[in-house]
Amino acid sequence: MSHPLSLLQQRHSVPSRQLGEPAPDQAQLQALLEAAIRVPDHGKLVPYRLILLQGAAKLTLGERLAALSLRLHPDLPESKREKERTRYMFAPVVMAVISRLDPSSKVPVIEQQLSAGCVAYNLLLGAEALGYGAQWLTGWAAYDREAASILGLAENEHVIGFVHIGTPQIDVPDRDRPTLADVLSTWTP
């Protein structure tokens, strides 16, 4: 039997360009998404939602974002235009994780954002648990309001990240990680 924390100890991102078929099937994807939304949620606000991108929709989004990028940066080189156009094409499943903020709530906005961030992280962990690879990316489109409009987001909604999910096409070595001693201190009054 593996150690109960082995999933956390071994989890690492697979670059989105190295994720391909097969994708999780419908039953696996449904189970993954249901598990991913089981997150801390102060006030039961459900301050998140998901947008599934698959098939031709990924290319359409990339083309619309590339057009926006070109409009904002008319001197954008052709290689960068193509990168924008194909950004979402590699992994067979891309989930846009969206925070839905309620600034009038007693729950601080940061807690609402963190709840949505937990959904994104659960997608990474869940994909790994199912034997898939995943990568959480943002990029300029996650922070641009015109890009948010292309995704159909309301004014109070923001992209937390795009989680790319698929089967790793190469073995990806783990990156250097901090040691616990580098990040742990003990508070003493």
Q: Where are the domains of the chain?
A: 14-53+90-170
pTM of the model: 0.95
The one-digit pLDDT tens for each residue of the chain (189 residues) are 689 999 999 999 999 999 999 999 999 999 999 999 999 999 999 999 999 999 999 999 999 999 999 999 999 999 999 999 999 999 999 999 999 999 999 999 999 999 999 999 999 999 999 999 999 999 999 999 999 999 999 999 999 999 999 999 999 988 999 999 999 999 999
What is residue 30's DSSP assignment? H
Q: State the burial class of residue 44 (Cβ atoms within 10 Å of its Cβ: 0-12, 13-18, 19+).
A: exposed
Q: Which residues, in sequence order, are bridge partners of residue 167?
A: 20
The number of residues making up the chain comes to 189
Q: Looking at 37-140, list the stretches that DSSP marks H as alpha helix, in order from N- to C-terminal side.
A: 56-72, 78-86, 109-129
Superfamily of domain 14-53+90-170: NADH Oxidase (3.40.109.10)
Q: Count of CB atoms within 10 A of residue 28's CB?
A: 17
